[in-house]
Amino acid sequence: MAKHDNPRVALLIETARDYGRGLLRGIVRYSRLHGPWSFYITPGDFEQVVPKMQHWGCTGIIARIATPQVVRAVLDCRLPTIALDLAESQLQPSNPLSKLSEIASDSYRAAQMAAEHLLERKFLHYAFVGTAGHVWSDRRQTSFCERIIAAGYQPHAYSVPRRTRKRA
């Protein structure tokens, strides 16, 4: 990369949810202070469109690695990558994704705080509503239910299923 070229970063992060948009705002703020950077981004949910990294001239990736296609694309391009919220299986030393840098929210603590907030209000019934199959949601459900059970209540857990087809 020539000195005058801006770093080109593929942002494979969902824009349909506040958490992803917050990460993107932070990345843009950082690039304004330390950049400039050029970005590749496509609006959407967790199913991201992966650019042709070499064709676009990508120099790095920040990604939620949620599908086998994204795993393959990220590993095949051999670019510096920061992953978001890797699953326990992805963090195992035998998994090549475990070698990536990672940004992870403290889902366990967030759920504990939510449970504490509700317990302080002395409700009699507790429920967790999550998004099935997402690492952060699964971690929050486990932590929330553990805390509610420890307080002597039986929580209910509901999971909204993942969409199986694309919107028209």
Q: How many angstroms separate the CA atoms of 129 and 107, rounded?
A: 14
Residue 4: the pLDDT is 47
Q: How many angstroms separate the CA atoms of 87 and 9, rounded?
A: 23
Helical ranges in the chain per DSSP H: 18-34, 53-56, 68-77, 88-91, 107-120, 135-150
Residue 12 inside a domain? The answer is yes
Residue 141 inside a domain? The answer is yes
Residue 127: the pLDDT is 97
Taking only the tens of pLDDT, the chain with its 168 residues reads 445 488 999 998 888 888 889 999 999 999 999 989 999 887 766 566 666 777 778 899 999 888 888 898 889 888 999 999 898 889 999 999 999 999 998 999 999 999 999 999 999 999 999 988 888 899 999 999 999 999 999 999 998 876 654 554
Clarify whether residues 56 and 125 are in a common domain.
Answer: no
CA nearest to 137, candidates 119, 118, 168, 114: 114
Domain at 25, CATH number: 3.40.50.2300
Q: How many angstroms separate the CA atoms of 162 and 73, rounded?
A: 22
Clarify whether residues 121 and 51 are in a common domain.
Answer: no
Residue 155 inside a domain? The answer is yes
Q: How many angstroms separate the CA atoms of 64 and 62, rounded?
A: 7
Residue 21: the pLDDT is 92
User: Dihedral (C-alpha) 71, 93, 106, 29: value to the nearest 10 degrees?
Assistant: -50
Amino acid at 121: R
Domain range for 114: 107-160
Clarify whether residues 96 and 149 are in a common domain.
Answer: no
Sign of the torsion angle spanned by Cα atoms 100, 101, 106, 107:
negative
Residue where a domain terminates, one of 83, 103, 123: 103
Residue 45 inside a domain? The answer is yes
Residue 112 inside a domain? The answer is yes
Say how many CA atoms lie within 13 Å of 76 toward its Cβ. Answer: 11
Clarify whether residues 77 and 117 are in a common domain.
Answer: no
Clarify whether residues 43 and 83 are in a common domain.
Answer: yes
Clarify whether residues 114 and 139 are in a common domain.
Answer: yes
Residue 166 inside a domain? The answer is no
Question: Domain count of the chain?
Answer: 2
